[in-house]
């Protein structure tokens, strides 16, 4: 009897391959098409937001499971959970409630490209761009 297993493997930058093993030996490996790839937002990110009151830097730690993002955003010694996070294709969205400089709900919508992310933050006081890179 010959044991055959198949697995799809994805690294942190979205490179995906399908591997077929027979009796522990790889028989077939193919990189999935661009349409099949998913550039996960999971990881630790150093973000910079260009807000109406100046540049703000935050650290964002995200986990992704089944298209759902969870994690924390930290800045200036404060940390808060994100919520309503979604990880779909190369896109990521999430919300976070902040208290500093004033109580606001920030809604992030971004696009992941390798170890870079960029997008828009929306709040009751307007919207502004953000960008960042994944920590090593």
Q: Where are the domains of the chain?
A: 4-36, 43-134
Order of strands, sheet of 4-10, starting from the edge strand that comes earlier in the sequence: 4-10, 16-22, 25-31
pTM (global) more than 0.75: no
Digit-coded pLDDT (tens) for 77-120:
899 999 999 999 899 999 999 988 889 999 999 999 999 999 99
What pLDDT sits at residue 35? 35
* pLDDT per position as a tens digit, 25-41: 665 555 544 433 457 89
- The mean pLDDT value for 50-69 works out to 93
CATH fold of 43-134 reads: Lipocalin (2.40.128)
Counts for the chain of helices (H) and strands (E), in that order: 0, 11
Q: What DSSP designation does 23 have?
A: T
């Amino acid at each position: 009897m010959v044991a055959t297993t198949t697995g799809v493997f994805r690294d942190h930058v979205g490179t995906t391959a399908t591997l077929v093993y027979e009796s522990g030996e790889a028989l077939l490996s193919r990189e999935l098409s661009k349409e099949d790839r998913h550039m996960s937002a999971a990881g630790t990110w150093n973000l910079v937001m260009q807000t109406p009151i100046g540049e703000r830097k935050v650290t964002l730690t995200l986990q992704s499971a089944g298209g759902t993002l969870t994690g924390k955003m930290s800045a200036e010694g404060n940390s808060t959970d994100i919520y309503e996070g979604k990880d779909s294709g190369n896109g990521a969205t999430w919300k976070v409630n902040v208290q500093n400089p004033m109580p606001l709900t920030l809604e992030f919508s971004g696009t992941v490209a390798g170890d870079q992310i960029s997008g828009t933050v929306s709040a009751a006081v307007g919207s502004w761009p953000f960008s960042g890179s994944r920590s090593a």
